[in-house]
Structure 1
Amino acid sequence: MDLIIADIIPESRIHYPVIFARLFGAIVFGGLIGFEREARDRPAGFRTHILISLAASLFAIISIEAVHMPGFTDDEQVRIDPLRVIEAVTAGVAFLAAGMIVFARGRVHGLTTGAGMWLSGAIGLAMGFGYWPIAFFTTIVAICVLFAFGKLEQRFGFNSGQRVDRDEHK
């Protein structure tokens, strides 16, 4: 029974409270971006951005932990390349984000939402690797860009998803 419990709760390079805090941070930061998208009634909103950020964070944490698993401790056998983890998450999220982008009636829709999803993945990676200040700053900047610049676009009629060609109303 002790072996089963030891397998269920293995020793960890990163202490479990730190892992859970990183995952929670990914939930909060991804959720903030998703909340803004949800408030604008975009198809990928609160839950989607949380899941993307959470998954990216988990991939980063698992990549750190996997190197220190028993059987992978020989430095000559296993070398982690953090860029491969980043590339894999980037490719996966880019696939999801590309599904959000639609070209209809001569206009591109969903590009900002797709970019937000991609950014949520990057923020999740930053959280998973333990870069709280980078993830926090990036989240704040993203919210400012999405909210403040979104208001400016609406005020001046530059919102590409809702812009009406002036020639159509003549």
Structure 2
Amino acid sequence: MDWTIQLEAVWATAIGMGLGGLVGLERELKDRPAGFRTHMLVAGAAALLVGIGRLALGDDTLFVGTSGQLRVDPLRLVEAVIAGVAFIGAGTIFARHGGDTVAGITTAASLLMVAVVGIAAGFHYYALAAAATVLTLLVLVLLNMCDRLLRRGHTRGGSKDEDGAC
């Protein structure tokens, strides 16, 4: 097997990890249950699994039968990534003691998002992965700032916009 093809998978994994790390840094700075390293590893694992699937597609004996029909769907690797991230994400969600509030849902969602960013990087859709990372950071940072402004205005007797938006 050509080493350059494997190096492309490593490069895609590195890009996925870097982009996931950007989202993880935001979570880390907010002292959330899953931070920088976790987000990097989730995005990197997703990209690497897709890269392995792409490499395996080059080996006709693994996925394509003698009649030329696909024997195994390589997109099942994507399903495996999502199932694994769901398990990790569930671990970040917990109920607060003595209350009805639940914490960690946004972090679990960000883990899912970086997994999808990793999948995009694994398929070599780098612009899509970068754009999804920027959109994720916009949601996490800008909407958090908006939420804080609304809460501050509400606690000082101020009022929210009619639709509750910034």
Q: Shorter-chain TM-score category?
A: 0.7 to 0.9
TM-fit CA distance, 1:29: 0.5
Q: Which residue of 2 aligns with 1:11?
A: 2
Gaps of 5+ in 2: 156-166
Gaps of 5+ in 1: 1-9, 159-163, 165-170
TM-fit CA distance, 1:80: 4.5
Q: Is 1:68–2:62 an aligned residue pair?
A: no
CA distance in 2 between counterparts of 1:52 and 1:98 reads 14
Structure 1 range deviating more: 20-29 or 78-87: 78-87
Contact 1:100 1:110 in 2 (8 A): yes
Q: Is 1:124–2:124 an aligned residue pair?
A: no
> Counterpart of 1:157 in 2: which secondary structure?
helix
Q: Which residue of 2 aligns with 1:96?
A: 88
* TM-score w.r.t. length of structure 1: 0.79
TM-fit CA distance, 1:71: 3.4
- Percent pairwise identity: 36
TM-fit CA distance, 1:103: 1.8
1:29-63 deviation per Cα after TM superposition (whole angstroms, max 9, x unaligned): 10000000001111100000000000000100111
Number of matched pairs: 151
CA distance in 1 between counterparts of 2:66 and 2:39 reads 36
Q: How much is the aligned-residue C-alpha RMSD, in angstroms?
A: 2.4
1:58-112 deviation per Cα after TM superposition (whole angstroms, max 9, x unaligned): 1001111112226336453654524312111101101110111112211010000
Structure 1 range deviating more: 26-35 or 72-81: 72-81
